[in-house]
Structure 1
Amino acid sequence: MTLTAARLDRFARHIVLPEVGGAGQVALSRAHVVLVGCGGIGSPALQYLAAAGVGRLTLVDDDVIEASNLQRQTIFATSDLGRSKAEAAADWVRRFDAELKVEAVRARVDTVNAADLVGAADLVIDGCDNFATRLAVSDACVATHVPLTTAAIGRFQGQVANFAGHLADQPCYRCFVGDAFDAADCDTCAADGVLGAMVGMVGTFAAMHAMRVLLEGHAALGVPQFGTLHLIDGMAPSMRSLKIAKDPACKGCKLR
């Protein structure tokens, strides 16, 4: 696959980076990313995935746009109120770059449909708002051998990590949180509040972290850092990292 003159011009600032280069840009153009959740984290992540030229994007969300979303979900406008988030996000991608392939899936991910939704991807980014969905996505990624970038936020605290639980020596997301969260209830932005700029910080970091996985073997952007959790404190501000141990009894890892 070669890039046209127009695409070379569009991504010139990537290509001139030795850590990306032409080979890395071609790899991005061939990549298929499934984004679960098109809200606060998904919006900035999607913007930078599209800007990076990720060639195929599948956007999964069952929610509709509300006025309270606009404070942090930056791809939506007042005119989008009441629309499907997945469909409005796909329209944003089409306006931004007509060369990209994008599909909107208006559905809630669960244990029944997760494997079908993520199985064809090169990478999944999960920015959803409940543990039941996150664990369903993680288990499906392990079962279908797809790497996972997970990002979450609560008030001024963010978490981003890459997981590859399908690899024998790597933990999965379930190794991190355990089985106690196999339920739909969890803290919400509506109840606890969240600063829009903080969500943007976490979402763009997730996009950057996802690119580490997509470019592995094609460029020198850095290792994927599978199993390393990055904790972002927006109040300090600061970031610290910790290694997640693989749980030998994890039922998610047994799916690989």
Structure 2
Amino acid sequence: MTAEDLQSGHIFLLDKPLDWTSFQAVNKMKYKLKREFNLPKKFKIGHAGTLDPRATGLLIVCCGKFTKKIPEIQDAPKEYWTEIKIGVQTESYDTEKPEILHQDISHITEEQIKNALEKFVGEIDQTPPVFSAIKIDGKRAYDLARAGEEVEMKSRKTTIHYINEMKIDLPLVSFTVGCSKGTYIRSLAHDIGQELGVGAYLTQLRRTKIGEYKIEDATSDFLENDFRFEIQQ
């Protein structure tokens, strides 16, 4: 790899660790590349699809002229390994906020859970979480929510292509979900809980695919302080 290669265009597949923001991961990559390849200040780099800090997995970073590919990659279908906990909720629909509204799940059967998940396959109306990066009147929804303001989120159409590889170990349920751009898996977890009548929230989320790109081809080595890219003279 040379500086010219990076300027001409390159795609990195990163395995984002837990509690890193997508912005932090890209900044780390940008710092290392600029330092090792002596790249100009205006070197272009960006990611093709945000992952929440509490999520791990595939983060695609485009460099140089390949930053033009970002919209195309963002539009591609996504796949996630998902774990939810039923019988309890959180305000954020994930582990960011503490558990609330505990409910008894002793009457919930595996058949009920399977039927509930199947109802969400296809085109659905989904309301994004209040704790999300969606802008309302120029402000992020999560900033308004954290400031204690009442936030009204509008529903939107999204598509769940499939839900499979289901495993049930109550109160935890895990599965793989394939979905369209703009799908909030946190909202899916919440909605599954509402369908069951006992609540649910997202406990783990790992992105495994974006279009043709797979997590098996990704690396997190770039985060190591002593990691160096292979430089071709």
Higher relative contact order (CA 8 A, sep 6+): 2
**TM bucket by the smaller chain?**
under 0.3
Between structures 1 and 2, the one with greater helix share: 1
What is the TM-score of this pair, normalised by structure 2?
A: 0.27
| Bigger Cα Rg | 2
What is the TM-score of this pair, normalised by structure 1?
A: 0.25
